[in-house]
Structure 1
């Protein structure tokens, strides 16, 4: 499944934020594939600390907004369900858990959604970012045991902080040094709370220059052809001054001819 990213809505959304090259690196790092179950869907492979595939979660995202497609139904399924494997025993692990072995001394940050883990990895690579895959997801003693002896930061979505705080005593009993990041909860507006925003929503509020270019090329494929043909390189991105806006407005065609 680790191909076909041109038709993978999740990849297209991430590429519009960080650029195509970095998006490809993140897809490879987290073992994110392309699924044919729904047109444009992705598969988040749950790979444990030993490199074993537990299962894969198939999800469909809107490539423009990065939101999950929930109409006319919630587009979420599992690879083992789609393949109709008999007597399958699902034992979930943290999404991204396979990174732990290669980074034994780095602090771990845990979020709820796979999307948040991927985006946060780009902006804050000093942490090993894992996702529970749901409010409770991999929050059980068996799954948490791989974090024994680790320094862990819990980064819950807005509205989930209290539920995650309840998990702290269990985590400490497993030898995990754990703290909760509640900055979002303490500083969010009422509208943000109602929307249940997560850390990824805050991080993507500022697009990178490569992300801006990728977004332009997705909207206008001819621009991508131009960049690739002449091997053009992005030098920088800056906002037009008022004088530049005025001059551009003056030379923009208007009326029926425009």
Structure 2
């Protein structure tokens, strides 16, 4: 994908307007070859500085796809955002809910393990970062929960948004990954990985059964090979929400033919509960 303005591909560096170090890569006009200005660009000190300002108007000149994959190159968030939004947990409704049911030390550990964040996009909102196995931050999903029930707020509208929208990164190319995938480095192929739908369920199950790595697809449709490919060599148990077993099991059978070691649990399907009921709902109710 080629835009009118692109980061300079030469080795030239300028003084960063944020940290004042000579580590700043400026944007270049691809039509004229001239630098755009002194504030639009990216600092190479991604961890210690993280400054990255894109041009406000950067229309596409030519859009190119990889001839082999037919995919657009994904965008990534900078690491500094993890620290920036990794605070203010007293005003995080989801964290407040966890503290009502689990020991503070367990909640602290799971916050650290999954890099749970807090956003003021809505008062009390939570950020779930999607970080891949190579520690690339592919997305930040913002959601709002009720601090007492732990249920998502769906009225007067469904409270789900994305960090790139909040930050107004208009050219951000979103390509998601499994939530929790960055923890894969702590597990080998002898471990069993558990896949659920929601981030909330993965986090709660990580506290209840910490011996397994719990991952989330983020949606019903997220149970697909595109997201599961990084964990192909692991033993996988999928726990679909109530009413989703047939759909997920069908996909699991297709993946087995491709060499995946995966099975789909029908635990919830055999219970007399409402559609959408998930594993965390089941275990939280049993321990209440």
Query: Shorter-normalised TM-score: what interval?
Result: 0.7 to 0.9
**Counterpart position of 2:200:** 115
Asked if residue 203 in structure 1 is aligned to residue 283 in structure 2, the reply is yes
Asked if residue 10 in structure 1 is aligned to residue 91 in structure 2, the reply is no
The structure showing larger relative contact order (alpha-carbon pairs under 8 Å, at least 6 residues apart) is: 1
Q: Indicate the larger mover: 42-51 or 121-130.
A: 121-130
Q: Contact between 2:249 and 2:263, CA under 8 Å: does it hold in 1?
A: no
**Counterpart position of 2:220:** 135
**Counterpart position of 1:80:** 164
Unaligned runs of 5+ in 2: 1-84
Aligned counterparts of 1:50 and 1:61: Cα–Cα separation in 2 = 29
Higher fraction of strand: 2
Asked if residue 34 in structure 1 is aligned to residue 118 in structure 2, the reply is yes
Question: After the TM superposition, which residues 18-57 of structure 1 pair with which residues of structure 2 at under 5 Å, given as runs?
Answer: 18-57=102-141
Q: Contact between 2:126 and 2:143, CA under 8 Å: does it hold in 1?
A: yes
TM-score by length of 1: 0.75
The structural deviation recorded for 1:178 is 0.6
**Counterpart position of 2:274:** 193
| Matched residue SS, 1:202 | helix
**Counterpart position of 2:42:** none
Q: Considering only aligned residues, what root-mean-square deviation do their CA atoms show, in Å?
A: 1.4
Aligned counterparts of 1:141 and 1:185: Cα–Cα separation in 2 = 23
The structural deviation recorded for 1:175 is 2.6
Aligned counterparts of 1:87 and 1:61: Cα–Cα separation in 2 = 29
| Matched residue SS, 1:205 | helix
The structural deviation recorded for 1:182 is 0.5
| Matched residue SS, 1:93 | coil
Aligned counterparts of 2:233 and 2:175: Cα–Cα separation in 1 = 22
Aligned equivalent of 1:182, options 266, 275, 285: 266
Q: Which runs of 4+ in 1 moved over 3 A?
A: none
Aligned counterparts of 2:237 and 2:225: Cα–Cα separation in 1 = 17
The structural deviation recorded for 1:22 is 1.1
Q: Indicate the larger mover: 41-50 or 78-87.
A: 78-87
The structural deviation recorded for 1:28 is 1.1
The structural deviation recorded for 1:31 is 1.2
| Matched residue SS, 1:61 | coil
